[in-house]
């Protein structure tokens, strides 16, 4: 099927002005000021996107696609994700992972859920293991999981958190070397995503690993970096070294506003830009609140809806849209080694396209060239969704 998207203000993510975009199958074929000669052909769908903005579909770098949680017993396990929630919030690709619970949640379940969501219409990559170290894998090693399991692009570990195994610099070197080798063999990112808690170690284990190895900075992505001021300072230091950091959007309206302010300040810090910072939702992961003794005193879970809410807040604060959306498009694409394929509007890229109206509200979505949503109406849902 061929789709012709006309008269859109295209953000690739750079602002290209008003353009027509031709989609053939699941790929972007052509971008031009005006593309003519296709109207009226039976196999061509034409969409007039006048007064609308066309962006790359969002990439969410941190999603508990199988559901997370469990810190307050079995009834606190968060339900698994559903396709429609991603599409309604502009997300066409994500990285699925496990969290605290590596016992009742498994890498096998994670891979199966990723493949299911991909069959249903989005693109899902995965990370092996969970909070624990030594890692919990499917094949017995980080390297084999990344090389042999189709959606696998890296590994997850928790650092400086009372629920973590407290890996030190040597442990992170061991993890990073395995991920890098596997990435080279499989042609994937070889990414090490580090869940960061507010523990006193902060990013010191990572700095130690980088100082005592030859591992490139691009393989490490610490996440939840807005958790406390000290962690933000460590993140700034890492970015100034040439590294990357991931910031989690809020889990309720009050928190999302506060996180947006923190993110705005971070992106206006000398040496920090959206080229080295990503934003993720932690969707379907639990959001427990602990007191000073480590006791859980509150509990909720994150939603992907706060990603686009944060985009709008940052634009309202004065940031250019083309800079804000790099947090969810081109920079994540770089981290997952999909530059030119995901996170951009360019010939040869996947046809994952987000449509915003004049108020920057989500109006439509094309996922792998298929019309997932248009004028607010959802056309593609998961198999068991009503």
d(CA 285, CA 289) in angstroms, rounded, equals 13
d(CA 93, CA 245) in angstroms, rounded, equals 19
* Residue 378: DSSP 8-state: E
d(CA 312, CA 302) in angstroms, rounded, equals 18
- The stretches of the chain forming alpha helices (DSSP H) are 83-88, 107-120, 142-148, 169-186, 204-211, 229-240, 253-267, 305-316, 321-324, 330-335
In a shared domain, residues 301 and 275? yes
Output the pTM of the full model. Answer: 0.96
- For residues 154 and 146, the answer to whether their CB atoms sit within 8 Å is yes
In a shared domain, residues 134 and 184? yes
* Domain containing residue 27: CATH number: 2.30.40.10
d(CA 151, CA 107) in angstroms, rounded, equals 11
d(CA 386, CA 365) in angstroms, rounded, equals 19
* Domain containing residue 144: CATH number: 3.20.20.140
Residue 363 lies in domain: 2-55+344-378
In a shared domain, residues 13 and 81? no
d(CA 58, CA 133) in angstroms, rounded, equals 31
In a shared domain, residues 319 and 365? no
For the record, the structure tokens of 50 come out as 């006048």
- The stretches of 187-221 forming alpha helices (DSSP H) are 204-211
In a shared domain, residues 160 and 189? yes
Q: How many domains does the chain have?
A: 2
In a shared domain, residues 294 and 325? yes
In a shared domain, residues 88 and 190? yes
* Residue 386 forms part of a structural domain: no
- The answer to whether residue 26 is catalytic is no
In a shared domain, residues 209 and 302? yes
In a shared domain, residues 325 and 357? no
DSSP string spanning 150-168?
TTEEEEEEEESSTTS----
d(CA 303, CA 103) in angstroms, rounded, equals 23
The pLDDT value given to residue 378: 98
* Residue 384 forms part of a structural domain: no
Which residue among the candidates 20, 161, 282, 352 is catalytic per the annotation?
A: 282
d(CA 255, CA 229) in angstroms, rounded, equals 15
In a shared domain, residues 368 and 314? no
Identify the burial level of 245 via C-beta atoms within 10 angstroms of its C-beta, where 0-12 means exposed, 13-18 middle and 19 or more buried.
buried
The pLDDT value given to residue 1: 86
In a shared domain, residues 104 and 157? yes
The pLDDT value given to residue 297: 73
Within 8 A by CB and 6+ apart from 255, the residues are none
3 state DSSP class of 40: coil
Length reported for the chain: 386
The pLDDT value given to residue 291: 74
3 state DSSP class of 74: helix
For the record, the structure tokens of 346 come out as 């360019």
- For residues 160 and 201, the answer to whether their CB atoms sit within 8 Å is yes
pLDDT tens digit at each of 386 positions of the chain? 899 999 999 999 999 999 999 999 999 999 999 999 988 898 999 999 999 999 999 999 999 999 998 888 898 899 999 999 999 999 999 999 999 999 999 999 999 999 999 999 999 999 999 999 999 999 999 999 999 999 999 999 999 999 999 999 999 999 999 999 999 999 999 999 999 999 999 999 999 999 999 999 999 999 999 999 999 999 999 999 999 999 999 989 999 999 999 999 999 999 999 999 999 999 999 776 767 777 777 667 899 999 999 999 999 999 999 999 999 999 999 999 999 999 999 999 999 999 999 999 999 999 999 999 999 999 999 999 98
Instruction: Kindly give the pairing relationship between strand 289-290 and strand 296-298.
Output: antiparallel
């Amino acid at each position: 099927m061929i789709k012709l998207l006309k008269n859109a203000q295209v953000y690739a993510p750079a602002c290209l002005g008003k353009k027509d975009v031709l989609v053939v199958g699941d790929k972007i074929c052509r971008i031009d000021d005006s593309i003519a000669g296709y109207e009226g052909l039976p196999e061509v769908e034409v969409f007039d996107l006048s007064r609308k903005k066309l962006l790359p579909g969002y990439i969410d770098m941190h999603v508990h696609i199988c559901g997370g949680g469990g810190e307050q017993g079995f009834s606190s396990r968060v339900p698994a994700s559903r396709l429609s929630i991603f599409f309604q919030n502009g997300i066409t690709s994500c990285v699925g992972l496990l969290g605290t619970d590596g016992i009742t949640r498994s890498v096998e379940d994670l891979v199966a859920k990723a493949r299911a969501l991909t069959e249903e219409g989005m693109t899902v990559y995965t990370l092996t293991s969970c909070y624990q170290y030594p890692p919990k894998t499917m094949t017995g090693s980080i390297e084999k999981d990344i090389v042999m399991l189709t959606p696998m692009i890296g590994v997850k570990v928790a650092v400086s958190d009372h629920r973590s195994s407290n890996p030190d610099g040597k442990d992170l070197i061991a993890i990073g070397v395995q991920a890098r080798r596997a990435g080279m063999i499989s042609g994937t990112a070889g990414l090490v995503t580090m869940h960061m808690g507010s523990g006193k170690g902060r990013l010191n284990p990572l700095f130690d690993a980088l100082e005592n190895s030859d591992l490139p900075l691009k393989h490490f992505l610490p996440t939840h970096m807005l958790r406390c001021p000290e962690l933000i300072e460590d993140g700034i230091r890492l970015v100034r070294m040439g590294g990357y950091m991931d910031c989690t959007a809020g889990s309720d309206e009050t928190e999302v506003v506060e996180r947006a302010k923190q993110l705005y300040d971070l992106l206006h810090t000398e040496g920090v830009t959206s080229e080295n910072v990503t934003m993720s939702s932690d969707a379907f992961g639990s959001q427990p609140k602990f007191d000073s003794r480590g006791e859980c005193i509150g509990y909720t879970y994150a939603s992907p809806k706060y990603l686009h809410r944060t985009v709008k807040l940052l634009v309202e604060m004065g940031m250019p849209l083309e800079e804000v959306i790099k947090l969810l498009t081109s920079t994540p694409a770089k981290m997952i080694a999909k530059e030119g394929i995901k996170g951009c509007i360019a010939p040869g890229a996947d046809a994952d396209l987000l449509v915003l109206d004049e108020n920057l509200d989500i109006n439509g979505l094309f996922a792998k060239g298929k019309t997932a949503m248009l004028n607010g109406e959802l056309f593609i849902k998961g198999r068991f969704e009503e």
